[in-house]
């Protein structure tokens, strides 16, 4: 069985600095795959190079059997791969509803778009309550829900999530992670980048540990959470 996403020997440079040094990973359909590592390990760079935002120096990125290495971000989204960026990046000055509609900008199926909006409201009731408010008035947790809802409006097969728990209170972190699991249960495969290693590993089918641009360890979420090295380095054990 071929993987939904396969990254092979990926290299990325920022000027003279090599940010990714031959990273390889696989995401199988239906999985939650977590990518953990310290600040500056290259996690965000890896996601951005997969989604076409960052230029790659060498390697292969294959999604649903197609080489997307040189594809534009719009074409990648149209294929079914969507990213929720770090820091949420919602559109201020637009309402919650307008932000959600921005997620569907490549779609032409008006009736289904409206149905999907209703599905998002069902999943995130707070967004329906605030649908006419400027998105900038939302709390951090609500903005994260909006960013995730907006990404889901593109009907992704694979959702890339970059640090969804960043800056959120612990109770909200739990809520966001249970939403990630719910999104996965309803048929979307997830590649998650997260500094909260314990939460990321606890929901992962498979996980990779990135250190200074290289994968240093991989295994099931359960195996990694029980690994003494991981406990010492990332779980405060």
Evaluate if pTM is beyond 0.85.
yes
Query: Using CA atoms, how far apart are residues 95 and 237, in angstroms rounded to an integer?
Result: 44
User: Closest Cα to residue 12, out of 68, 76, 55, 62?
Assistant: 55
The SS3 assignment for 34 reads: strand
The pLDDT tens digits for 150-202 are 999 999 999 999 999 988 888 889 989 999 999 999 999 999 999 899 999 99
Residue 58 has pLDDT above 70, yes or no: yes
Q: What integer best gives the mean pLDDT of the chain?
A: 92
Cβ proximity of 83 and 151 under 8 Å: yes
Q: Residue for token digits 């900038």? A: 136
User: Stretch 74-90: mean pLDDT, rounded?
Assistant: 87
Domains assigned to the chain: 29-54+70-234 (3.40.50.300)
Residue 44, pLDDT score: 92
């Amino acid at each position: 069985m071929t993987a939904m996403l396969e990254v092979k020997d990926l290299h990325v440079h920022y000027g003279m600095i090599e940010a990714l040094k031959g990273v390889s990973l696989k995401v199988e359909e239906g999985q939650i795959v977590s990518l953990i590592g310290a600040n500056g390990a290259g996690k965000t760079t890896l996601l951005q190079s997969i989604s076409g935002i960052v230029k790659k120096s060498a390697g292969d990125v294959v999604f649903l059997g197609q080489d997307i290495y040189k594809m534009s971000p719009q074409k990648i989204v149209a294929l079914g791969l969507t990213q929720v960026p770090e820091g949420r990046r919602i559109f201020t000055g637009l309402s919650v509803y307008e932000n959600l509609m921005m997620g569907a900008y490549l779609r032409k199926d008006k009736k289904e778009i409206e149905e999907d909006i209703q599905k998002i409201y069902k999943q995130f009731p707070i967004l329906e309550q605030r649908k006419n408010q400027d998105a900038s008035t939302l709390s951090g947790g609500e903005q994260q829900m909006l960013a995730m809802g907006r990404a889901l409006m593109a009907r992704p097969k694979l959702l890339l999530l970059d640090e969804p728990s960043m800056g959120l209170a612990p109770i909200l972190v739990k809520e966001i992670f249970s939403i990630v699991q719910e999104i996965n249960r309803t048929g979307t495969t997830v590649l998650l980048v997260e500094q909260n290693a314990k939460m990321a590993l606890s929901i992962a089918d498979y996980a990779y540990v990135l250190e200074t641009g290289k994968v240093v360890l991989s295994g099931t979420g359960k195996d990694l959470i029980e690994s003494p090295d991981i406990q010492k380095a990332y779980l405060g054990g």
